[in-house]
Amino acid sequence: MSNMVQSYKIPESFVLENLVTFIQQRFQPAGYMINVNSVGNAVQVTLQKNIGGIHMVTGLGEQLTINFAVKETALNVFSSNQYWNDKIVAGVVGMFCCFGITWITAAIGIFKQTQLPNDVNAAIFTYISSL
Amino acid sequence: MMSTLQSLRTFLVSKPKWFRFGLIFASLLLLLYVLTDTNCLVEAIIGIPCPGCGLTRATIAFITLDFPRAFQMHPLFLLAYLDIALVSVSVLTGKVSDISRNILVVSLVLFIGVYAYRMVTMYPLIAPMKPNPHSLLNQLIDLFN
């Protein structure tokens, strides 16, 4: 689906590394694998859950890449790279194997994938509000 | 009897989780087949044919060189095997290439379209789009009637 851009007003005490740690602490217990890459002032965080292998048939995979960039008193958040391929595979499997079960799991996966950017944004908002 | 159950339990516990899940799933499918006389999960439960119904009969007809019957049973049966191959590759590699994804999306749309067409033109009189009177839902309705 579409990529998302959000902008947040940040106080002077804001430290991007702390926000990344906050996101890690929030999403890792929920089973997400988190990769962090820093390029200059920007930080890229990738969240992944149930990706690859047999999960490809269930359609329950979730993925999101978030790019953080700090510009003066604003934090720009660019969410992209969502994962839809496994939902397509699950849809096809449900179709010709008569296993309608994968349609149900794919529907759950679609819901979770669409919710993931909102959850991340909610976490960012919570962190910034707490400063 | 107890020792047989004990050895069965030991056997199952020693196997990985996916094997146990698969065994339970296969047993349920077998039970459904015995109860409802069909190997299609959708047809077994609600009694209405699914988009994949007729694939097995189409394959058998194709193997016996009865092509008109094969295409009557399921006009997309060859595409289904391409899909199976693509899905298998995706599961094994953990990745879906752009070409595979496009083929799968097109086949998904085609399957839905063909299913809708067959439900309008063939259901409930012509095989394979016949309702299953032995489905769990029908048996349940019969029980209450």
Q: Tell if the CB–CB gap between B94 and A96 is shorter than 8 Å.
A: no
Q: Tell if the CB–CB gap between B50 and A100 is shorter than 8 Å.
A: yes
pLDDT at A23: 95
Among B50, B51, B101, the residue with its CB nearest the CB of A88 is B101
In tens, the pLDDT along A50-72 reads 988 888 888 999 999 999 999 88
Q: What is the ipTM of this complex?
A: 0.72
Grouping H, G, I as helix, E, B as strand and the rest as coil, residue B19 is helix
d(CA A54, CA B91): 6
Task: Classify each residue of A18-49 as buried b or exposed e, where b means 16 or more C-beta atoms within 10 Å of its C-beta.
Answer: ebbebbeebbeeeebebeeeeeeeebbbbbbb
The domain A4-130 is classified under which CATH number: 3.40.1350, 3.30.530, 3.40.720, 1.10.10? 3.30.530
d(CA B104, CA B111): 10
Is the entire prediction scored with pTM above 0.90? no
The amino acid occupying position A108 is I
**Alpha carbon of A14: minimum distance to chain B alpha carbons (Å):** 38
* Confidence band, pLDDT 50/70/90 cuts, at residue A2: low
**Alpha carbon of A84: minimum distance to chain B alpha carbons (Å):** 10
**Alpha carbon of B1: minimum distance to chain A alpha carbons (Å):** 35
d(CA B38, CA B35): 8
In tens, the pLDDT along B14-61 reads 888 888 888 888 898 899 889 998 888 888 889 999 888 999 999 999
The stretch A77-93 carries a mean pLDDT of 90
Share of residues in chain B with pLDDT > 90 (%): 56
Q: For residue B125, is pLDDT > 60? A: yes
* Confidence band, pLDDT 50/70/90 cuts, at residue A30: very high
User: Which among B96, B25, B12, B14 has a CA at the least distance from the CA of A83?
Assistant: B96
pLDDT at A99: 60
Per the listing, tokens 């189409």 go with: B58
User: A33 at the B interface (CB within 8 A)?
Assistant: no
Q: Tell if the CB–CB gap between A101 and B41 is shorter than 8 Å.
A: yes
Instruction: Domain ranges for chain B, please list them.
Output: 54-128
Closest residue of chain A to B51, computed from CA coordinates = A95
Q: Tell if the CB–CB gap between A89 and B90 is shorter than 8 Å.
A: yes
d(CA A27, CA A130): 18
Cβ contact B109:B83 at 8 Å = no
Instruction: Domain ranges for chain A, please list them.
Output: 4-130
